[in-house]
Structure 1
Amino acid sequence: MTETRIQPMQLVNQSIQEKADLFEYFYDQPGSLPGTLRVKTDAQPPEIVLIDYNEETATRIVLETPEECALYLDTESVSWVDVLGLGSEEILLRLGKVFNLHLLVLEDIVNVPQRPKVEDYDDHLVIITQMVMPKEKADGFYSEQVSFILGKHYLLTVQEEPQRDCFKPVRDRIRTAKGMIRKNNADYLAYALLDAIIDGFFPVLETYGERIEELEEEVVSNPTHQTLNKIYQLRRELLALRRAIWPQRDAINTLIRDGSHLISEEVRIYLRDCYDHAVQVMDMVETYRELSSGLMDVYMSSISNKMNEIMKLLTVISSIFIPLTFVAGIYGMNFNTEKSPWNMPELNWYLGYPLCLAFMGAIALGLVIFFWKRGWFENFSTIKKNNRFG
């Protein structure tokens, strides 16, 4: 694939503040005007990347102005306009004029995050999605909104951040002409990108499966307050994943069920496979949520067992010292032996003191042996691993 650069825009050299693991859908302030765009102060200026291709050739171009996109909208080739960043209201408004977008559509694109959905207009189809990617050096995941504007011969995608996405396999297929993507229209490109977004959930879920296994071992072996915090954070992150995939599954189902003149019957068949993947992701998320809820129950049981072990140890120690205290209390009464031969004659024995200590030691040792044979010194809260399966 050849590459031509037309005065590329200068990206601002500043780090993007990481998004929170949990997102809330954007909502307008009460009384605000419809179509109000709210650009985040830390958002980077948009970079417009055009990939124009057909079955024979493919060209990648970095555009300087949004108006240059108009030259590629009505060509017979497929034009993928990828906008990276939401940091300029002016550029986004100019893009809206070039692609004939309603102001409310621009509002859904800019004011992120929106609930995933599908809206059908006369000459284009609007698809709002949520893309997730695992963090490299920390727990959790990145999430960002990706907006699709599908036309007859073009596809406009708008991403929040230019640093990361899951579209590299699709770009490589276009560049190397692998598969069917260069032989099909823009609707197949939209399907390929949607499928990449849905498949991007699986690496994230794989990390959560590993975290749940680690937490299971920690909960049954050494539960602490940090363990409780980890379980709570895990449940919150899984809830965020559920909120991302649930409406996205419904949006794909809308594309299949309602259809559109911009999506061919062949691509609708491929969308069924994409829908199946979304359902599989949804099932995994629900399974992990149930496991995390079970971890909370196991944690409470482990803490209760740990407290029972402490109380059992204290009871055993008290049980050993009760008869010793009884013996020491009797001989601490010091009745006068001169008044009666029944008044504790042991006080006058030559070996009375060492015999009393020996007797008390025998009682203590006998109780320890008795408790050991009854199994009271075993740790019932420790669950032994079964290595039968490797």
Structure 2
Amino acid sequence: MKVQPEKYLKYLLPNLSELFGTQRTREILSVNPTVVPKREEAQQVVITACCYTKDAIEEHKNISLEQALDLRNSNKIVWINVDGLRKADVEKLGERYGINPLLQEDILSIDQRAKMDEIDSILFCLINTLYFNEQKKAVEHEQISMVLGKRMVITFQEDLSRDPFNALRERLKLPASKTRTRDADYLYYTLLDTIVDNYFIVMEKLGKEIEGLEAEIIKNTSKRTLAYINAIRKELIVLKRMIYPVREVISGLLKSESELLEESNERYYKDVLDHIVQAIDLVDNYKDVAMSMQDLYLNNVNLKLNEVMKVMAVVTCLLAPATIITGIFGMNFKAIPLLENNNGFWIAIGFMILILIWMLSIFRRKRWF
């Protein structure tokens, strides 16, 4: 009969794959640019649109694709938002609004790196917005594609349940809104700024997790604590992957000579660049803190081990004289002092205790414990 130890080890050891989140590692490292993943068609598509001028705004909710196509004739600035991606819908919108097929492929891509392109008088940005899952303690991302054309902006989102632009829609309804008085490139800036500002919200929540973990390491050092450190480092990898390329996107917009970008709005894009550089610095700081937490964990483990070894060394030293005395009186010689004495046993014990007390006083004086 062949013995299978792995069959019984699961009852003795914790599930390390679950503890250290190897599934999360596979998710993070599974991106392969040479393999084009197939996107599943969205079960539901929700299209909303805002058409506005300085004096008026029209909001269209849950409109059909045909209605979205007809907005092209509007003299107002048009912002179309598509939640849920289907290839046929993207192609129709692309054909109607002059979006190049290469950009359509980027819109339908999965786990694409943040990028910026300028094709056929269209400015295109692909960027990831971030969310923090409180239950899983994990950073989640959603790919957002943004198209800027003449007096129009189109945004494509994947997730129907979460929308980072709800607050922006409410601001657009205000007559005094600055966005209403400017061209479509200012709206484009506002969308980018909203996504970048959301990075700081996610990093703030992750920072609280790091602070709590640091306190936990000081109070309690265990394998589970090490697993939490490992999980935090994985989330920082996600942050780095999603945030670092955005700097190139904003820099590309600033370097662009497109007529779609007004020179007067350049300072706003520079402000977004400053924010993203600050976010990158914050990610680097978090990485340093995570490394210091790992060092702190190892130092605590070594400190506990040293304490155990110190106690064992003290006990060994205290027992050494008694061991020597018992060894001497256990030798096979006929003539041993106190061997025939009726009180020899108690004398030997008393001598051992005196030596023990003497050694303890020396250790205390030297502050060894």
TM-score (norm 2): 0.87
Quote the residue 2:69 is aligned against. 70
Please say if residues 74 and 153 of structure 1, whose CA atoms lie closer than 8 Å, have aligned partners that are also in contact. Answer: no
Give the counterpart letter for 2:364 in structure 1.
W
Please say if residues 231 and 295 of structure 1, whose CA atoms lie closer than 8 Å, have aligned partners that are also in contact. Answer: yes
Pair 207,21 (structure 1): closer, same or farther in 2 beyond 3 Å: farther
Which of structure 1's runs of 4+ aligned residues deviate more than 6 A?
Answer: none
Query: How far does residue 178 in structure 1 lie from its aligned partner after superposition?
Result: 4.5
Aligned with residue 353 of structure 1, among 331, 335, 345: 345
Query: How far does residue 152 in structure 1 lie from its aligned partner after superposition?
Result: 1.2
Quote the residue 1:193 is aligned against. 191
Give the counterpart letter for 2:233 in structure 1.
R
Give the counterpart letter for 1:276 in structure 2.
D
Quote the residue 2:223 is aligned against. 225
Aligned with residue 22 of structure 1, among 11, 25, 28: 28
Please say if residues 66 and 98 of structure 1, whose CA atoms lie closer than 8 Å, have aligned partners that are also in contact. Answer: no
Aligned with residue 176 of structure 1, among 174, 177, 184: 174
Please say if residues 246 and 282 of structure 1, whose CA atoms lie closer than 8 Å, have aligned partners that are also in contact. Answer: yes
Q: Which runs of 5+ in 2 are unaligned?
A: 1-23
Aligned with residue 281 of structure 2, among 276, 283, 286: 283
Quote the residue 1:292 is aligned against. 290
RMSD across aligned positions (CA): 2.2
Pair 97,104 (structure 1): closer, same or farther in 2 beyond 3 Å: same
Please say if residues 100 and 120 of structure 2, whose CA atoms lie closer than 8 Å, have aligned partners that are also in contact. Answer: no
Pair 23,263 (structure 1): closer, same or farther in 2 beyond 3 Å: farther
The CA distance in 1 between the partners of 2:152 and 2:137, in whole Å, is 37
Query: How far does residue 280 in structure 1 lie from its aligned partner after superposition?
Result: 0.3
Give the counterpart letter for 2:140 in structure 1.
Y
Quote the residue 1:105 is aligned against. 103
The CA distance in 1 between the partners of 2:250 and 2:366, in whole Å, is 63
Quote the residue 1:365 is aligned against. 357
How many residue pairs end up in the alignment? 345
Please say if residues 241 and 285 of structure 1, whose CA atoms lie closer than 8 Å, have aligned partners that are also in contact. Answer: yes
Give the counterpart letter for 2:366 in structure 1.
R
Query: How far does residue 199 in structure 1 lie from its aligned partner after superposition?
Result: 0.5
Range with bigger deviation, 111-120 or 66-75: 66-75
Residue 167 (str. 1) matches residue 173 (str. 2):
no
Please say if residues 51 and 79 of structure 1, whose CA atoms lie closer than 8 Å, have aligned partners that are also in contact. Answer: yes
Once the two structures are superposed, what CA deviation does each residue of 1:304-360 show, in whole Å capped at 9, x if it has no partner? 222222221211111111111011111122532xxxxxx223123332222221221
The CA distance in 2 between the partners of 1:109 and 1:28, in whole Å, is 17
Range with bigger deviation, 254-263 or 319-328: 254-263
The CA distance in 1 between the partners of 2:177 and 2:358, in whole Å, is 80
Which structure has the highest helix share of the two? 2
Pair 193,312 (structure 1): closer, same or farther in 2 beyond 3 Å: same
The CA distance in 2 between the partners of 1:64 and 1:207, in whole Å, is 36
Quote the residue 2:316 is aligned against. 318
Quote the residue 1:3 is aligned against. none
The CA distance in 2 between the partners of 1:351 and 1:368, in whole Å, is 26
Pair 23,106 (structure 1): closer, same or farther in 2 beyond 3 Å: farther
Give the counterpart letter for 2:253 in structure 1.
L
**Any idea what SS the aligned residue of 2:338 has?**
helix
Quote the residue 2:84 is aligned against. 85
Give the counterpart letter for 1:175 in structure 2.
K
Give the counterpart letter for 2:33 in structure 1.
Y
Query: How far does residue 22 in structure 1 lie from its aligned partner after superposition?
Result: 3.5
Give the counterpart letter for 2:239 in structure 1.
L
